[in-house]
């Protein structure tokens, strides 16, 4: 048994499994590679697994409010949060 990464045609890790050596129970368009340090969602580039980037986190309403320098800016942030403004800063 060995740890294997199940890849789609683009090299995306769909699953990491324990498979017997020589096992080939995969569907067309998928492949197996030794998993080493692979995790679900990684991408195989042919020699190593690449971890996905963490998505950027938008500043919270509290952070934006505290960073606002004027009363008008603070009111605009609150109005936007309540849905009174269509676009930020308008």
Assigned domain for 90 exists = no
Instruction: Classify residue 2 by its DSSP letter.
Output: E
- The model's pTM: 0.58
The pLDDT assigned to 16 comes to 95
Rounded distance between C-alpha atoms, residue 41 and residue 61, angstroms? 30
Assigned domain for 9 exists = yes
Helix-strand-coil percent breakdown of the chain, rounded to 5? 20, 25, 55
Assigned domain for 39 exists = yes
Mean pLDDT by 10 residues, the chain (90 residues): 92 93 85 91 94 89 92 90 69
Q: Is there a single domain that holds both residue 32 and residue 59?
A: no
Instruction: Classify residue 15 by its DSSP letter.
Output: E
For residue 3, is it left (φ>0), alpha (ψ between -120 and 50) or beta? Answer: beta
Q: Is there a single domain that holds both residue 60 and residue 43?
A: no
The pLDDT assigned to 36 comes to 80
Rounded distance between C-alpha atoms, residue 3 and residue 48, angstroms? 15
The pLDDT assigned to 27 comes to 87
Instruction: Classify residue 12 by its DSSP letter.
Output: B
Instruction: Classify residue 90 by its DSSP letter.
Output: -
The count of domains in the chain is: 2
């Amino acid at each position: 048994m060995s740890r294997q990464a199940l890849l789609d045609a683009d090299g995306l890790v769909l699953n990491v499994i324990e498979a017997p050596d020589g096992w080939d129970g995969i569907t067309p368009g998928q492949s197996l590679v030794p998993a080493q340090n692979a995790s679900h969602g990684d991408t195989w580039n042919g020699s190593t697994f690449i971890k996905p980037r963490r998505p950027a986190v938008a500043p919270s309403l509290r952070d934006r409010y505290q960073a606002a320098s004027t009363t008008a800016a603070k009111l605009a942030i609150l109005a936007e949060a309540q849905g009174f403004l269509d676009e930020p800063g308008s």
